[in-house]
Amino acid sequence: MTETAPARLVLGAMMLGTAVDEGTSFALLDRFVERGGVWIDTANVYAFWATDSGLGGDSERLLGRWLAARPGVRDRVRIATKLGADRLEPGAGPERREGLSPAAVRAAFAGSLDRLGIDRVDLLWLHQEDRSVPIEETVEALAGLAADRFGFSNHPAWRVERARAHAVAIGARPFDAMQLNATYLRPRPGTLPPGVVHRFGVLSDEQADYATEHGMDLWAYTPLLSGAYDNPAKTIPRVYDHPGTTARLAALDEVAAESGAARGQVVLAWLLSRGIRPMLGASKPGQLDSALDGVGLELTEDQLEHLNAVDRFPWANPYT
């Protein structure tokens, strides 16, 4: 069945329940469903940096309260959550995170289900790679969990391949999704955009090619640069400060003017044209409505070619 345009957008719930208060969070979730949105993405680590406890879980708890307060809505939405990155104690650095050992995976998942108030999730992500644990052990631990699908966030392609091969070997469901940072602009080589703390967190040509060849879903976080495409009060991060960005922004402005859309809306439509599902972390209803309008934008073949042909070299487009 072909997805409707709103169903192609993911609502990121990272700051719901912390920076975004409960009333606003419920209004955003209600509006998302009202307009045909389906996928809601969270993680057990969200948002430890914004909580009094210094630990994650508030986003999942908020979603759990919303689901409980909206009888029947669970049948209309799909819930994705991530594990492996929550801190072991308040104030701990990234080296003190739960990781992906079988025991950690089982404990983290049980905690997520409890906070969400549901008996299974539609998609479970491994949030960050953990090289202290053989990926085969993690795969075997996942095989018995109540999740309909499994995916990788912030993992190199070779570990994805190893995990998928082992899942097939033991008769488990193979991973079928990857979540990484992606947008229309490209960062300078050797740099990471703000909010990307994983060296394999930005979608690369190899990761995109692997996903395409194996029919895996690609999800893109921070596709709108936290509003910098359209909000004059925000600047485009310095990692994008290079000549290629100048050319790409010019093309983006031309297509936006032709289509009567905002820059960010064109970016969302462009990502979807590449088979990439964008994720939006809205904090205001207007932001959500704009994004939902953007995923419904139909770019012409000429407009897509114009966006794709900028600074083109054989190796230059990582989203082919």
Query: Could you report the per-residue pLDDT of 248-303, keeping only the tens digit for each?
Result: 999 999 999 999 999 999 999 999 999 999 999 999 999 999 999 999 999 999 99
* Domain extent listing, the chain: 6-309
**Contact between residue 177 and residue 216 where contact means Cβ atoms under 8 Å apart:** yes
The predicted structure's pLDDT at residue 315? 43
The answer, yes or no, to whether residue 316 has pLDDT greater than 50, is no
Mean pLDDT of the region 78-98: 88
**Mean pLDDT over each residue of the chain, to the nearest integer:** 94
- Name the active-site residue from 46, 184, 229, 240: 46
Half-sphere exposure of 261 (CA within 13 A, CB side): 26
Orientation angle between helical segments 157-169 and 135-142, nearest 10 degrees:
50
Q: Looking at the DSSP assignment, which residues form a beta bridge with residue 270?
A: none
pLDDT in tens, 39-50: 999 999 999 999
| Backbone phi, psi, residue 40, to 5° | -125, 125
The predicted structure's pLDDT at residue 311? 67
The answer, yes or no, to whether residue 229 has pLDDT greater than 60, is yes
CATH architecture of 6-309: Alpha-Beta Barrel (3.20)
Q: Which pTM value belongs to this model?
A: 0.94
C-alpha 288/C-alpha 282 separation (Å) is 6
Please enumerate in sequence order all residues whose Cβ is within 8 A of that of 56, keeping only pairs 6 or more positions apart, or say none: 43, 44, 45, 46, 47, 48, 85, 86, 87
Orientation angle between helical segments 263-273 and 301-309, nearest 10 degrees:
90
Q: Is 210 a catalytic residue?
A: no
195: enclosing H helix or E strand? none
